[in-house]
Structure 1
């Protein structure tokens, strides 16, 4: 049957660049030290660290409020820690959280909440905390912490979408920007089952229904849409289905540029996100002014949207 706990996965991002900059020995020491600090943040808030995972931590908490407080404190402390670091050495932390019954066996833990927390951690952008609505509904939020509902999100490997939220920990007011770009008004966004995004790069074409999202664009062979160019990061960008919109999030080292058909200018994403409108192009690793930049064309089927926003990721 198991016992009810809140499970967190916390992972470092950006360690590849640190290994390139410092070499294996110094980079390993830096990653190990940060992983230890992540574990200490869990333990200081009554969490039980199940194991460390090279550049990540798996921990469980009996109280939901302790889990949220631990991850908020971890992100805030890490922001102060890296404030003066050279950009090439900065590593961010991303977190996934889920609650449910778990089973402890031989120093490890198992259960749907463990799998769900791991998936949400994979989906989160650097410095983000993603959690199921079950987590955020179960505990009051401390001052300076707020929750943004992302709606039903398809989780790879799970039959049903889950209500997912992003926990904003930086104490800032809601700074999402909403703009109505004429003349792209139209009908309401279609149901998830009917919406899909079509991607094209050179002779590579693929279509992804909304219920299969999120997907990653990147140089990794296991990226759902692979773009084999040295300027493209291993996991360069992610496309999610959020509030009946296709949302592109930049996860890269060098940035992502978006150009909408009929638009008046290019949108630059650097660890930020935007809603994709009808059709356009995505330039990865270099701006559109570089005619050699790897450029992915996109179009939305049954998915015309009327709102554009950009947010810090």
Structure 2
């Protein structure tokens, strides 16, 4: 699963150091150096699917459909600008402010003005974000943030700062997405079950005491179970022939005397491949 929570966000990023460079090298050379930074920054915004992108004299303003993409784009912008060598001893650096569109509504400000305010009050090479933006991030992304230090300009709302920790892996973000769902719907031969906090376990096997009874000689009496633990749905096999898992967009997996975290949706075969006999497979989907 790679869907992200929709939280329209704005990145306002400028390039600091251009004025000092112009004094030393002249306006044309300084302008060329700043333009190189802006080109790199705009490519980062495009790589993370910016919904709107504006490039100005020394500023990039980009909008994103979700908070994770906005923060990853801002981080990548900073890394790309950092990678450029100094000119005549002067290093160009990036400053960025990242806010939710909703932050601006609550503060009765335009999102761009709010993000620019964040930028103007911080030191260069800083990515500052509103606290509301931080709360909209996936949990793994949120761990990259720290409390923003004191600033002279003052910020009209609580703010955080992006640190130097590496971004979460795709696997960590996948777990975040799964944990955001607290209900798993399961179906078999026209019947439906719901796994949630009130009913955290579902048993299936050949014996009549199971929640899902599968009358097949390949199925063990107590073949497998699905459990909700710590916000994740685990498929645990206790069988002789193994439990086959076929998830959307992933290769089929055979689990034997082990457990596996379920993804967004798929099918489970008790002792057989769901691809070979879909009508007798147990279907599941996150709600």
Q: TM (normalized to structure 2)?
A: 0.48
Task: Choose between structure 1 and 2: higher strand proportion.
Answer: 1
Task: Choose between structure 1 and 2: higher helix proportion.
Answer: 2
Bigger-Rg structure (1/2)? 2
Q: TM (normalized to structure 1)?
A: 0.44
